[in-house]
Homo-oligomer: A and B are copies of this chain.
């Protein structure tokens, strides 16, 4: 499992201990800039942010996490009792919170429920969309029951797209998120990989990846409901 992002750095010892005991790998981040530099290759699985000691820095980090192309989820805040009012205008910055100081058992229960309901973290084993299935453990892909023989980059690209069905991504975004932040190369590279993916998906499913002219590519249909 990918690590949790934890703010601040250093992490309060009782929090570190609770996360360790509950079995969550984690990595401390001290400021906004460190979000990207400390990020592991496979990304963050979520965030735990203590707002009690440095509210300003904490909310800045939370805001940065939500502002990404793919907002980080879930975000858990640990807030002091006197700070409860501060949450009122910041609903979009977090998914759950826990009073600080906390009871380890409450935090554990909240974390478990949070991962359960966001669906991320604890079970990213399979990515499914319609007939397409990606097994993240075995790096295998199949559509309509038939296995797909994808290369590494093709797999990574398809995985990223299928994890965010309906959303449009620019070539630049795809390059930075799939190829890596520091990547600098021609945007046409994306085109070629998209083309090969479409070819391998077969005529029947090639339309799973749609071109949005002047913008980028979109996987699958958007959900209009709700």
Contacts and interface: CB of A to CB of B under 8 A. Distances in A.
A223 to B, nearest CB: 8
What's the number of copies of this chain in the assembled complex?
A: 2
Interface stretch (A44-52, A187-195, A213-221): A213-221
A168 interface: yes
A200 interface: no
Nearest to A109: B84
A176 interface: no
A152 interface: yes
Interface string A40-61: 0000000000000000000000
A70 to B, nearest CB: 11
A134 to B, nearest CB: 11
Nearest to A112: B88
Contacts of A152: 212-215
Contacts of A99: 103, 106
Q: Is the interface of A mostly helix, strand, loop or mixed?
A: mixed
Interface residues of A, number: 45
A130 to B, nearest CB: 16
Interface centre among A81, A84, A167 (most CB of B within 10 A): A84
Contacts of A68: none
A117 B103 CA distance: 25
B138 A218 contact: yes
B105 A91 contact: no
A117 B212 CA distance: 30
Contacts of A140: 222, 224
A106 B84 contact: yes
Interface string A86-100: 011001001111010
B214 A137 contact: no
Interface in A95-122: 95-97, 99, 103, 105-106, 108-110, 112-113, 116-117, 121
